[in-house]
Structure 1
Amino acid sequence: MMTHTERNAYLKRLGITDIQPPSLAYLFEIHKAHVQFIPWQTIDIVAGKPVPIDTKKSGNLIISGRSGYCFHLNGAFGELLRSLGYKVSWHRAGVQPMGQEPRINSFHLGLTVSLTNEQEEDQRWIVDAGLGDMPYEPLPLQMGSYEQGPFHYQVTPSSVAQNGWRLVHDPHASFVGVDFAPEVVENLAEFVPKHEFYSRSADSPWINLFLVRNRHATGSNEIRGCIWSKREGITTEKTELRTKSQWLEVLGDVFQEHLVTYSKEEQDDLWKRVQHLHEEWKKAKGA
């Protein structure tokens, strides 16, 4: 359970100084701040320094000025919301990449929040701080289409889980959608083997891919290797980061990721590895 001190430090990292009782407006405020100021990243995996996904360590990671990927972010976010009095549930989920089929394989940790509305009816909301390229605001767990700024989302029944649901991402997004199982997961033990695969297996999609993402109201930012992509609506501007100082500056200023748990030597080693992977990617692309 997150302490009051940890909760307040977490909210401070999000730029939120006031503690409010659970409400939809406050949930929206926290969610928007989280996906904007706490990026999704594979930094520690690429660096060979993966962090365990238990919620205590994940919360400390964020409080210390760092970030993580889905298991860290949604695990810690769920504990933050619980400490604020929200009714939070974890769910098994699976992301559908471009060109592949829908799946629920526990390679994503889903979150829902139940709130009582003015009519004293319980409403459930899809919240997610762990996808990087993700809706900026919570979405109602109610079948339909939703607009957020320039982006269009749908919530539909899942085709791979009875009584489950599916978040269909914007057509210009980096993946097709996410499917969620309806059963509530009580702890993160289900996801530990998946984290081990993601963070240590030679077959992991992240082991050699330096990727950092965040969201804002009208677009997103991404660093993939040494390419910084600034998306505004459906328009994307790409910049190659050619020096370590430029790379670190964008990481810090755009993503609030200052690598505070990395020594100068470790930052140097990480930059050299990322630069090498980037040059290999350029050669393969040229070929």
Structure 2
Amino acid sequence: MQGSPGDAPNIDRNHLALTVSGVPDERETAWLVDAGLGDGIHEPLPLREGTYRQGPHTYRLRPSEVAPGGWRFDHDPSGSFVGFDFAPGPAEMADFAEKHAWLSAAPESGFVRVCVLQRRDAAGVDTLRARTLNRHGTKEFIESPTDWWTAAADVFGVTPDLFTAEERERLWRQVVAQHEAHASGEPVVSV
């Protein structure tokens, strides 16, 4: 996955793209179906070169320059990453184990540094990043743990009963520290 404009396109096993074919009445078309991108596509994209508009976002599919026979997904410029390339053919979950371990635990991983919830629908993207709730472009600062858990439940379906009281308190301390670090320009670290 290419996170920043300066990053070179690559196949780094950061994301598993799902393609589907053999859909009734569309047997000649394969589709990119991706439920794992919080601010990615809302509906499947036909796996053909082109530009596709979904709500306020525009995406592009084109042949990959780094994966022979593969595809390149270019994200809308407002998205949280630039795009990704994916190779053709089946993949095994074991192919992603090493990268998954790093993304889940390394202090440098964006998934460890900042708590982010994202949800994509036809109107746009909702994001809760540390203490900032962005609902389709309207930002709101979250003042309290009660307000944070209300937003997590109401907007993203992440209810507090999924966590112990200790886990909820720890998560609140983390999002406060992450927000303060971001505001001060300091590196973000887990608490």
Q: TM-score, normalised by structure 1?
A: 0.61
Question: Which has the larger displacement, 249-258 or 197-206?
Answer: 197-206
Matched, 1:282 2:183: yes
Name the counterpart of 2:85: 179
Secondary structure class of the residue paired with 1:153: strand
Residue number in structure 2 paired with 1:191: 96
The answer as to whether partners of 1:117 and 1:123 remain within 8 angstroms in 2 is no
SS at match of 1:123: coil
Give the counterpart of 1:257 among 158, 175, 178.
158
Deviation at 1:174, TM superposition (A): 2.0
Q: How many residues end up aligned between the 2 structures?
A: 185
**Corresponding residue for 1:112?**
19
> Is 1:101 the equivalent of 2:8?
yes
Q: Determine the C-alpha separation between the residues in 2 that align with 1:147 and 1:202.
A: 35
Runs of 5+ in structure 2 lacking a partner?
A: 187-191
- Aligned AA for 2:132? I
Q: 1:219 aligns with which of 108, 118, 124?
A: 124
What are the within-5 Å matches in structure 2 for residues 126-205 of structure 1?
126-185=32-91, 187-205=92-110
How far apart are 1:284 and its partner, in Å?
1.9
Paired letter, 2:168: Q
**SS in structure 2 at match of 1:260:** helix
Whose helix fraction is larger, Structure 1's or Structure 2's? 1
**Residues of 2 paired with 1:98 and 1:139: CA distance?**
23
Which runs of no fewer than 5 residues in structure 1 stay unpaired? 1-94
Q: How high is the TM-score relative to the length of structure 2?
A: 0.90
Say which of 237, 247, 254 aligns to 2:148: 247
Return the offset for 1:171: 2.5
3-state SS of paired residue (1:106)? coil
Residue pair 1:112, 1:124 contacting (<8 A) in 2 also: yes
Residue 123 (structure 1) aligns with: 29
In 2, Cα distance between the equivalents of 1:277 and 1:244?
A: 14
2:189 maps to what in 1?
A: none
- Paired amino acid for 1:114: S
The correspondence for 2:170, drawn from 265, 269, 282, is 269
Q: Higher RCO, 1 or 2 (CA under 8 Å, sep at least 6)?
A: 1
Which deviates more, 217-226 or 97-106?
Answer: 97-106
In structure 2, relative to structure 1, the CA distance for the partners of 1:265 and 1:115 (3 Å cut) is same
